[in-house]
Structure 1
Amino acid sequence: MSAGILAQLIAQGSAGGADLATLRAIAEEAGELAATRALTRLGLADDEAVRDVAELRALLTAWRDAKRSAWKALAGWIAAALLAALAVKLGFGQWVR
């Protein structure tokens, strides 16, 4: 539910005689209930969830670091191969052996 629709519903409830504080409390409680349901459906509602998410983030960081290192290593190998090919082409083949 967007903030605009929520504001309209609160205004309607207020115009109908409901207390604004009560309407805000209902909206807050509904939001917390929806968030709890979503986390439960994702399997993140238990006490282990914080640790699980932290481990997943650490794993993702390690994956990104490994991927970055692999690309750097590949670039280094390509540069070395190009330099070796250039050396052979220019007649410096005996230095490459």
Structure 2
Amino acid sequence: MPGDITMTTDELEDMLDRAARRGAKAALAELGLHDAQAATDINDMRSLIAAWREARSTAWQTMVRLGTTALFAMIATAVWLHLKGQILK
């Protein structure tokens, strides 16, 4: 057919690779990650996410410890009150 374009597999792969690189560059530019500071920015974001996860984990651990301590305190108080009542009789 007239106007048919033929290309080798290598040419097609090269064209697709160039298009993918252009698309990736455009996406990074939209996110503001197109300059020399991009690697530092990404590392900072990862550090912030890691710190957030650590803080969230620590908060849950603290809540569980508080609940456990409160439960043991209530049990100890109940035992003490029970024993105090028996000693006074």
TM-score (norm 2): 0.79
Out of 82, 86, 89, the residue aligned to residue 71 of structure 2 is 82
Q: CA deviation at 1:92?
A: 5.2
> Which runs of no fewer than 5 residues in structure 1 stay unpaired?
1-14
Q: 1:65 Cα deviation (Å)?
A: 0.8
Aligned equivalents of 1:18 and 1:84: distance in 2?
Answer: 79
List 4+ stretches of structure 1 deviating above 6 A: none
Residue of structure 1 aligned with 2:55, choices 44, 61, 66: 66
In the comparison of the two structures, how many residue pairs are matched? 79
Instruction: Kindly provide the amino acid, as one letter, of the partner of residue 46 in structure 1.
Output: D
1:7-46 counterparts in 2 under 5 A? 16-46=5-35
RMSD: 1.8
Cα distance in 2 for partners of 1:71, 1:20 equals 55
Gap runs ≥5 in structure 2: 83-89
Q: Where do 1:42-61 residues align within 5 Å?
A: 42-61=31-50
Local SS of the residue matching 2:80: coil
- Counterpart Cα distance in 2 of 1:44 and 1:90: 62
Percent of aligned pairs with the same amino acid = 29
Structure 1 Cα separation of the partners of residues 80 and 22 of structure 2: 75
- Partner amino acid for 2:35? D
